[in-house]
Amino acid sequence: MTSSTRRSFTRLTNLTATYQKAEEDRETARKALHEAIVRHLMERNARPGKIAEHTPYDRVWIGELGRQAGVPPLKGPNAVGPAPKYDADVQAAALAELDKLTEAYRKAGAAIEKTRPLIHAEIVKHYEAGVGPEELSRHTPYDREWIGEVARSASGTRQRRPRKATADE
The pLDDT profile of the chain, 169 residues, written as one tens digit per residue, is 344 455 578 999 999 999 999 999 999 999 999 999 999 999 999 999 999 999 999 999 999 999 999 998 888 888 777 878 889 999 999 999 999 999 999 999 999 999 999 999 998 888 888 888 888 889 999 998 998 888 888 855 555 555 566 666 5
Asked if 120 and 150 touch (Cβ cutoff 8 Å), the reply is yes
pLDDT, residue 12, reads 92
Q: Rounded to an integer, what distance in angstroms lies between the CA atom of residue 91 and that of residue 162? A: 67
Task: Determine the angle formed by the axes of helices 10-42 and 88-128, rounding to 10 degrees.
Answer: 160
| 34 located within any domain | yes
CA end-to-end span of the chain: 46
Domain assignment present for 133:
yes
Sequence-separated (6 or more) residues with CB below 8 Å from residue 112? 19, 22, 23, 26
Which domain does 99 fall in, by range?
10-154
pLDDT at 78: 81
CA distance 152 to 145: 11
Q: What is the pLDDT of residue 1?
A: 38
Is there a domain that residue 86 lies in? yes
User: How far is residue 44's CA from residue 137's CA, in Å, rounded to a whole number?
Assistant: 47
Burial class of residue 161 (count of CB atoms within 10 Å of its CB; 0-12, 13-18, 19+): exposed
**pLDDT the model gives residue 72:** 87
For residue 31, the SS3 value is helix
- 116 assigned to some structural domain: yes
Is the residue at 55 inside a domain? yes
What radius of gyration, in Å, describes the C-alpha atoms of the chain?
25
In eight-state DSSP terms, residue 165 is: P
Q: How many domains does the chain have?
A: 1
CA dihedral 137, 141, 143, 148 (to 10 degrees): -70
- Residue 169 inside a domain? The answer is no
CB atoms within 10 A of CB 10: 11
Whether residue 31 lies inside any domain: the answer is yes
Q: Is residue 2 part of a domain?
A: no
